[in-house]
Structure 1
Amino acid sequence: MKPLNSTEALTLVKECITEIVPDADFTGVRPDDKFRDVLELDSLDFLTLVERLAARTGARIDEDDYPELATLADTVHFLVARTGQGVR
């Protein structure tokens, strides 16, 4: 598992979301917005996102972790911590 910094984690999250929702427009998504609502990701889209993030990072993401993936900022922080950097 390669440690990610905040920039790498944000890029990865956006790439994975774009693979699921090709026309996703991040210009209106602030770091603390609940991106599922803003980008209209349904439950299946979110589960697909979790699977892709886990596969691409090697990080284990359990259902108990889902609340930590509510916003872009939260998701970035989670991935940075889970991949070993431990800092924002």
Structure 2
Amino acid sequence: MTEQEIRDLFLNEINKVAPDIDPSDVSDDDHLQDDLELDSMDILSLVTALDARLGISIPEADYPQIETLTKAVRYLAGKLAG
């Protein structure tokens, strides 16, 4: 999976969790909680969706690694690479 595909998937899942967020409005460094105003339940839903879509486990200790689009793409690419 390319980084662009991971980016698109991540933005799609954010939009499913928070339909009021337009993926085209999310910048690379927007913080999920501070800028996009996702709450802890939204984050948990996002992590669960990523687990289901990608078949990877994201432990709670790693949540800071997905707090922005840039970090999430890097983290998820690493997890998918093994």
| TM-score normalised by length of structure 2 | 0.89
Q: What whole-Å deviation, never above 9, does each CA across 1:32-74 have from its counterpart, x for those lacking one?
A: 2213322211110010000100110001110111110111000
Find 1:61's aligned residue among 46, 58, 61.
58
**Residue 40 of structure 1 aligns to a residue in which SS?**
coil
Kindly report the root-mean-square deviation, in angstroms, between the aligned alpha carbons of the 2 structures: 1.5
Find 2:38's aligned residue among 41, 45, 57.
41
**Unmatched 5+ residue regions in structure 2?**
none
Aligned to 2:15: 18
Shift of 1:26: 3.6
| TM-score normalised by length of structure 1 | 0.83
**Residue 24 of structure 1 aligns to a residue in which SS?**
coil
**Unmatched 5+ residue regions in structure 1?**
none
Sequence identity (%): 40
Instruction: Count matched residues.
Output: 82
